[in-house]
Structure 1
Amino acid sequence: MLTKVRYSYKEMARWTRWESLAFTSYATAICTFYVLADHFFFHLPWAPLAVVGTAVAFIIGFQNNAAYGRIWEARKIWGGIVNNSRIWGMKTADMVTPENSNGRYDDQSIKKIRCILVYRHIAWLTALRHSMRQKKKWEVFDKHITNREWSALSHIPERITSLSDDLVMYLSEEELTYVLSKGNKATAILYLQSRHIRKLKEEGALWKFAFLQLENVLGEFFNLQGKSERIKNFPYPRQYATLGHIFVWIFILLFPFATVPEFSEIGKKLAVNFPFAGTYFVWLSIPFCALVAWIFHTMERIGRVGENPFEGSANDVPISTISRAIEIDLRQMLDEDAEEIPGQFPELNDVQM
């Protein structure tokens, strides 16, 4: 499901390098001050901090489960779009026929109509993916410097070409003007599809049962579009996300105040039999504090970037790739020349978009 094709520990280290540096620097400062102050230092007991850490872990776990649930639901929705798009292509190919048109249509004109219906559906996919990529106020992925680096290295088609440019080849000039004049472009395209197949029914290119079958498929497209819009337009509750972020930082800032003195006490006990190791054991609290802080913060950050599965991050649903794959399938079913069918969007840094 994840759009990141291959996982690399180097990439994770690069993604979190600034936090790692900050946590290490902070722990070093606390430990240095503790040693220079001759162990006279504010000392937090372990028990209360452990309770705080447990509570924070539950909050992070809840956030990550909720974020994964949103990603998985979005992937199922777009999986439904894939299946129903293939059904649409199959039914338009087999149900739109000239048999009952009383000479209004011949085989050549019917073939053209099938092409129009399929191309209009590709236009719907294009409008929907552009809609899902629109920026919302609560989407915070691009606010972090390393996330912006990933975006700059990724190929997000909706940020490269405009919707009107992408729709030109799939809609007539009149239809394009109509669609662009509406607020919800994807919905407008589905209305055009419904009007067209009603006209085909009235002119005999579709018999009534076939018309109902195609209307049912359009109805399913409306349902899937609405479900996708629901995830896009309803954010993960901000009170949970904000409080979780604050609690993680409170825990990270307090953690060295309990860890450094604890390592110092362990060092004193070690010094009885191992003087050298006991003297410098307190400095091991630095990597320990940095590691614990990195784990808590990284898990919270993963949940944060996974809240909105259409932003365009490396772990989002690859709606651009899915849409282009559907287009390739449908146009191949129309027996178009392979050179005329566009290729799949490139995977830059092993990321599908």
Structure 2
Amino acid sequence: MWTRYETIVFLIIAIIEVALFVWSDQVIQFPFTPVALIGTAVAFIIGFQSNSAYGRIWEARQIWGAIVNSSRTFGMMAQDFITNEHTKNPISEEELQNERKIVIHRHIAWLTALRYSMRQSKPWEYVMREHTNKEWAKKIYVPEFNEDFDATIKNYLTEDDFKYLSNKGNKQTAVLYLQSNHLRQLKERGLIWEFSFLELENVIEELFTHQGKSERIKNFPYPRQFASLMHYFTWIFLLILPLAMASQFGEIAVKISDKIGSCPDWIIWLSVPFSMAVMWVFHTMNRIGRVGENPFEGSANDVPISTIARGIEIDMRQNLGEPKEDIPAPFEVRNHTQM
């Protein structure tokens, strides 16, 4: 179903080229050897493309796995390090819990800003503009495409923090700046011990590192000279394959005629299904590689950063002791696909 339109195109191309071969009494033909050489070169390049695309997906998954670990560490530290132990002006436990909540919710705001940033469309991201991918997009649920950013992130920030973000381009970076500034204020009030403050700052440094790695994959595309030329090479191979295949089956028909004296015409037409099979395999391999080039674009095969971020949020808010009814449910899974 994913490649049904291309399959119909392959069928039409194969029928037209085989018909030309038959109706021209085998005058219009193409030698199979050059096509085989081109096919070998295309197969090597498709293999390189697939490995490179998978490498980008795997690296993105590792980055977001590291974000999970650092977030859990940060949540633990925020709860245990914000105390009255070293302050000269103790505050109530309710006020301490409110400070912890502000810090943890701000971290969730950072996750929210980062995942929305990763979903922003780039000029070189074209997969979701293809017809069958648009169809599939309607069958899955990408939160960033369906939920307003301001309305979402406002749930995790104070009014002052939200106003601060309003004119910032890189909002995820601005959230981490706010976080560091707030932790410094807590340290100055004695609510965080100096050594604990340094530990929390180290985790924020880790978060900046994870963010930078994620942004690098998002903002640096798969080299276009490989992607574009690969597309052209594949279609050159696909367009000349049926004629070469018909020529090959024509030689088979001649050999059969030499053996038994006559050969049915349908043997040459067998080149149509065989051509379609080869064309479909090469095109689908190329398309699978193209889908994996941008792991945050919003396709069904992307890294499920929305699900990962929501999982972190649920863990942190549960451990903070918030009421169950205040904690959001995991994002909806449609067609067995997490986003």
Which of 104, 112, 117 is equivalent to 2:98?
A: 112
Counterparts of 1:137-176 in structure 2, within 5 Å, are 137-176=123-162
Counterparts of 1:277-292 in structure 2, within 5 Å, are 278-292=264-278
Cα distance change, pair 274–91 in 1 and its aligned pair in 2 (3 A) = farther
Of 97-106 and 222-231, the range deviating more from structure 2: 97-106
Which of 154, 173, 189 is equivalent to 2:175?
A: 189
- Listed one character per residue, the Cα deviations across residues 203-257 of structure 1 (whole Å, up to 9, x for unaligned) are 0100011000000000000000000000000001111100000000000011112
Query: In structure 2, what residue type is equivalent to 1:239?
Result: Q
2: CA distance between counterparts of 1:139 and 1:179? 27
Task: Give 1:314 deviation, angstroms.
Answer: 1.1
Query: In structure 2, what residue type is equivalent to 1:91?
Result: M
Cα distance change, pair 292–179 in 1 and its aligned pair in 2 (3 A) = same
Instruction: Tell me, yes or no, if the aligned pair for 1:271 and 1:277 is still in contact at 8 Å.
Output: yes
- Listed one character per residue, the Cα deviations across residues 302-330 of structure 1 (whole Å, up to 9, x for unaligned) are 11111110001111100000000000110
TM-score, structure 1 normalization: 0.93
Query: Unmatched 5+ residue regions in structure 2?
Result: none
Q: In structure 2, the residue corresponding to 1:15 is in which secondary structure?
A: coil
Query: In structure 1, what residue type is equivalent to 2:5?
Result: W
Counterparts of 1:55-204 in structure 2, within 5 Å, are 55-204=41-190
Instruction: Tell me, yes or no, if the aligned pair for 1:140 and 1:305 is still in contact at 8 Å.
Output: no
Q: In structure 2, the residue corresponding to 1:169 is in which secondary structure?
A: helix
Equivalent position of 2:14 in the other structure: 27
TM-score, structure 2 normalization: 0.97
Identity %: 53
Which of 34, 38, 47 is equivalent to 2:25?
A: 38
Of 336-345 and 225-234, the range deviating more from structure 2: 336-345
Q: Tell me whether 1:18 sits opposite 2:5 in the alignment.
A: yes
Task: Give 1:347 deviation, angstroms.
Answer: 1.0
Instruction: Tell me, yes or no, if the aligned pair for 2:21 and 2:243 is still in contact at 8 Å.
Output: no
Query: Unmatched 5+ residue regions in structure 1?
Result: 1-13
Q: Tell me whether 1:212 sits opposite 2:198 in the alignment.
A: yes
Counterparts of 1:249-268 in structure 2, within 5 Å, are 249-268=235-254
Query: In structure 2, what residue type is equivalent to 1:305?
Result: V
Instruction: Tell me, yes or no, if the aligned pair for 1:328 and 1:341 is still in contact at 8 Å.
Output: yes
Task: Give 1:277 deviation, angstroms.
Answer: 6.6
Equivalent position of 2:38 in the other structure: 52
2: CA distance between counterparts of 1:99 and 1:347? 44
- Listed one character per residue, the Cα deviations across residues 142-163 of structure 1 (whole Å, up to 9, x for unaligned) are 2210011111222111111121
Instruction: Tell me, yes or no, if the aligned pair for 2:31 and 2:247 is still in contact at 8 Å.
Output: no
RMSD: 1.4
Task: Give 1:31 deviation, angstroms.
Answer: 1.2
1: CA distance between counterparts of 2:305 and 2:314? 14
Query: In structure 2, what residue type is equivalent to 1:345?
Result: F
2: CA distance between counterparts of 1:236 and 1:40? 43
Q: In structure 2, the residue corresponding to 1:168 is in which secondary structure?
A: helix
2: CA distance between counterparts of 1:105 and 1:276? 101
Instruction: Tell me, yes or no, if the aligned pair for 2:46 and 2:285 is still in contact at 8 Å.
Output: yes
Query: In structure 1, what residue type is equivalent to 2:2?
Result: W
Instruction: Tell me, yes or no, if the aligned pair for 2:140 and 2:335 is still in contact at 8 Å.
Output: yes
Task: Give 1:280 deviation, angstroms.
Answer: 1.4
Q: In structure 1, the residue corresponding to 2:270 is in which secondary structure?
A: helix
Q: Tell me whether 1:248 sits opposite 2:234 in the alignment.
A: yes
2: CA distance between counterparts of 1:32 and 1:186? 59
Task: Give 1:283 deviation, angstroms.
Answer: 1.1
Which of 325, 332, 336 is equivalent to 2:311?
A: 325
Equivalent position of 1:269 in the other structure: 255
Cα distance change, pair 160–289 in 1 and its aligned pair in 2 (3 A) = same
Task: Give 1:275 deviation, angstroms.
Answer: 7.5
Give the length in aligned residue pairs: 339
Instruction: Tell me, yes or no, if the aligned pair for 1:130 and 1:158 is still in contact at 8 Å.
Output: yes
Task: Give 1:106 deviation, angstroms.
Answer: 2.0
- Listed one character per residue, the Cα deviations across residues 3-54 of structure 1 (whole Å, up to 9, x for unaligned) are xxxxxxxxxxx1100001100111011112222222221x222222111111
